[in-house]
Every structure is written in structure tokens, then in C-alpha cells.
Amino acid sequence: MVGSVRETTHLIPGVAVCLLVAGVSWLVSGAIPGLSALLIAILLGALWRNLLPLPETLNSGVDFSSVKLLRTGIILLGFQLSLSTILDLGPGVLLVVLMSVAVTFGATLWIGHLMGIGLAQRLLIASGFSICGAAAVAATEDAARASKEETATALALVVFFGTLMIPLVPFMGHLLGLPDESLGMWIGGSTHEVAQVVAAGGAVGGGALAVAVTVKLARVLMLAPVIAGITVYMNRKGEQARVSGRPWCRCS
């Protein structure tokens, strides 16, 4: 009992700092439309970690927040979308959601392989691009057995390309003469972060925004099965390497 209390007490400083950073990030994102609070928090954490030493008293709380609290938040994000809302999209839109995730994930893995990028990093980038940006990258890190450097690179790519999508997709949609609902589906099926989807959809109009957010949140629900698939694949890959007697590199 005493040991449990001490362990909980050790978590408090790190968790408190993470909550403080989360609060600041949320306030900044509210002042700057289209800027994700999650991305701001990641940027603040990266700057602090590289510019200033992290006090040892914060380590356990930060580790707890980056694993337990983050995963809980990702699960709660999926609860924003009810089953009835998904079914109301209709079979055609549901097929678009499934295809957008599957094609984006597969194409990213293939292109990354051609570029010589390691497997773990390809999985992180594919998850971020196809599902829900930085949240998907963070959630996939352990399953893909990625290093901190690989995770940071994947996050940077998600931020860069997702931000480009905000002005690019609405511009292309108007150039092609797409109706608002069709453009909203394009935005929701292609843009990485939920906040980026809101920014791009809002720039088009209320009709496009409603469709874009619904399609985007439907993509978020794909995160759990994708992570489960990655976990099974990586475990099998490691087991095959062990049986064959060859060393297995997670980034091969």
C-alpha cells in the first residue's frame, strides 16, 4: 500500500507539467484557428527536451502521461463519433473512408520502401497520413517498435504535409468545380489532423465542414484495428527471425 502511494506521488510532478503544457497548447490553438493543440504540445515538448534538461523528478510522470494518458485520450477521441452517425454516411461514403485509409496506408509503405526508409518509420508515417495525424503516430510508436528519432521525423512530416492540405484541397476543389459536400468528403478523407480538417472545411462552408468532420472521425475509428494489425505483424516478423536464427532489425 505504501509503495503504491509513493509511486503515485512520484507521478504527480510530471503529470502536472504535462497538463500545464496541454492547457497552454489548448489556449494557443483556440487563438489560432486550424492549429492543432496536439501539434503545439509536441512542439513545446521537443523544444524543451532539446534546449533544457528534463528534471529527474518529472521522468516517471512524463512517461506515464505519454503512454497511459495519451492512449486514453486517443480512445476518447473515437467516442466523439456515434455508430448512427457513421451509418448515416451511407455505404458509398463508408467505402470511401475504408479505401482512403487502405490506399493511403499501402501507398505510403510502398513509396517509403522505394526511398529506402526503414519499416518502423514507414509504419509511423503511413498511420499518421492515413488515419489521424500526430495522434496516430504517437499511438503506433510502440507497436512499430520505432525509435524517438523515427517518431519525431514522422511527426514533422505529418505537420508539414497536413498544413499544406489546408489551403491546397479547398483551392483544388473550387478549381475543379466540386460541390461543397463532395469537397468536404475529399477534405475529410485526405487531411491528417482533425483541426486541419476543421480549418480546411470551414474555409469552404458549413456544408463542407459537417461532411469533412464526420468523414474524418470515421477514419479515426480505424486506428485501433490498424494498430492491432501492426502489432501482430511485428510480433510475427520477430518470431520468424528468432526461429531462423537471424538477427531481426526493427527498421529493416
d(CA 100, CA 165): 15
pLDDT digits (tens, 9 = 90+) for 211-243: 888 888 888 888 888 888 998 888 887 656 555
pLDDT the model gives residue 111: 94
With b for 16 or more beta-carbon neighbours within 10 A and e for fewer, the 199-232 pattern comes to bbbbbbeeebbebbbbbbbbbbbbbeebbeebee
194 or 225, higher pLDDT: 225
Q: What is residue 53's DSSP assignment?
A: P
Number of domains in the chain: 2
Closest listed residue to residue 96, CA positions, set 179, 215, 229, 223: 215
pLDDT of residue 5: 55
What are the Cα distances from residue 245, in Å, to 15, 144, 239, 242, 251?
42, 21, 10, 5, 18
Domain that includes residue 233, residue range: 82-252
- Mark whether 220 and 108 lie in a shared domain: yes
Whether 14 contacts 55, CB under 8 Å: no
Q: Average pLDDT of 144-161?
A: 86
Please tell me the pTM assigned to this model. 0.67
Neighbours of 59 (CB within 10 A): 13
Final residue in a domain of this structure, among 52, 79, 106? 79
As a whole number, the mean pLDDT across the chain is 79
Let me know: does 154 contact 124? Beta carbons within 8 Å.
Answer: yes
**Do 50 and 94 lie in a common domain?**
no
If asked whether residues 49 and 74 sit together in one domain, one would say yes
**Is residue 247's pLDDT more than 90?**
no
Cβ atoms of 213 and 198 within 8 Å: the answer is yes
Reported as a pLDDT band with limits 50, 70 and 90, residue 74 is low
At residue 127 the predicted structure's pLDDT band, cuts being 50, 70 and 90, is: very high
Residues 105-118: b if buried by 16+ CB within 10 A, e if exposed: beebbeebeeeebb
Q: Mark which of 50, 79, 108 sits at the end of a domain.
A: 79
* Weakest mean pLDDT among 27-31, 75-79, 129-133, 202-206: 75-79
| pLDDT tens-digit series, residues 93-113 | 788 888 889 999 999 999 999
User: In terms of domains, do 209 and 121 share one?
Assistant: yes
Give the per-residue pLDDT at 244: 57
Together in a domain, 72 and 126: no
Select from 79, 96, 125 the last residue of a domain.
79
What values do phi and psi take at 179, rounded to 5? -65, 160
Judgement on whether residues 190 and 86 belong to the same structural domain of the protein: yes
Q: What percentage of residues in the chain have a pLDDT greater than 90?
A: 11
Those residues whose C-beta lies under 8 Å from the C-beta of residue 75, and which sit 6 or more positions away, are: none
Same domain membership, residue 153 and residue 102: yes
So what's the pLDDT on residue 107?
94
